Amino acid sequence: MIKLESIVEKYQCRIYTTSIYDPMKEIRFGFCADLMSDALMIMNTVKETGILEDTLLITGLATNQSIRTAEMLDVEVVLLVRGKVPAPQVVTLAEESGIILIGTNLTMFQTSGLLYQEGVRGIPGHAST
Amino acid sequence: MLARKHFDIQAGNYDEAGKAASEIKRTLKLEHCSKELIKRVSVASYEAEINIVIHSVGGFADCTIDDHAVYLQFVDHGPGIADIALAMTEGYSTASDESRLNGFGAGMGLSNIQKSADEMTLISDVNGTILKLKFHREGDDSHDSE
């Protein structure tokens, strides 16, 4: 588990949704995808409650669809990688939807590796140890 | 009947795609549906809405909620699904490059909808497609989402 403020500090993240940012938000799981079809398909297999709420969606897709996907799955935080910058309308949608949107210049692989070292794991049910 | 909602869905409008699903999710929360049911309905709604945005000339969605079930109907005005069995095959997709740039077109949408819903009916010809979904509310803890 890692607190959001640690992710922001260690990976030099920009906080796009400042009005709803919660530094104490706990992240226990992570899921990486640029294809939202995959996120919807695989994250929808998680039946236990309380898992997806603590899952970080790590993506290079800086469009409304990343926010909508998170919203449908009850994921509360989206991390944009590879220095992707969301358009103002994406930030507005995230704030309206209550989705915390942050971004880092690190790649998806670097981000995932560092988070794994911190104890963040893949969502249950997909060979995540 | 507890609630009935209608949403128009525009073809090719990726900025608005997901708005109907978001409203359906909000409606289910107001009706105190369980979190588990809300997630299943939300994911199926979003996939179905995206399908209309990507593949059709436009259409609409209707959502009806009563004490027993959530009923969704997604209707578009063509050009229809040429081969439904093939479209249901995981990985098969006719999506455009534009839809892939928006994170869709993996060929998993209909399959994911089928897995999320309790009942599904899909009818299609060149004049359009009708997708009917039913989600049972049995065991739905009415206070779960409060």
Q: Where are the beta strands (DSSP E) in A19-122?
A: 26-27, 29-32, 55-59, 77-80, 100-103, 121-122
Answer for the pair B45, B61: CB distance below 8 angstroms, yes or no. Answer: yes
Distance from CA of A50 to the nearest CA of B (A): 10
Q: Where are the beta strands (DSSP E) in chain A?
A: 2-3, 14-15, 26-27, 29-32, 55-59, 77-80, 100-103, 121-122
Closest CA to A84 of A56, A113, A58, A116: A58
Closest CA to A106 of A75, A79, A77: A79
Distance from CA of A15 to the nearest CA of B (A): 22
What is residue A127's predicted lDDT score, i.e. its pLDDT?
54
Give me the percent of chain B exceeding a pLDDT of 90.
Answer: 78
Res. A129 pLDDT band, cuts 50 70 90: very low
Domains in chain B, CATH or no CATH each: 3-136 (3.30.565.10)
* Cα nearest neighbour of B40 on chain A: A44
Given a cut of 80, whether residue A128 has pLDDT beyond it is: no
Answer for the pair B36, B88: CB distance below 8 angstroms, yes or no. Answer: no
What is residue B90's predicted lDDT score, i.e. its pLDDT?
87
Decide if A108 touches B, using CB distance below 8 A. Answer: no
Q: Which of A40, A63, A89 sits opposite B112 (nearest CB)?
A: A40
pLDDT in tens, A106-126: 999 999 999 999 999 999 976
**Full-model pTM:** 0.93
What is residue A7's predicted lDDT score, i.e. its pLDDT?
98
Decide if B53 touches A, using CB distance below 8 A. Answer: no
Domains in chain A, CATH or no CATH each: 2-121 (3.40.1390.20)
pLDDT in tens, B88-120: 998 898 988 888 888 888 888 999 999 999 999
Given a cut of 70, whether residue B59 has pLDDT beyond it is: yes
Spell out the alpha helix ranges (H) of chain B. 19-30, 35-55, 84-87, 97-101, 109-116
Average pLDDT along chain B: 92
pLDDT in tens, B33-56: 999 999 999 999 999 999 999 999
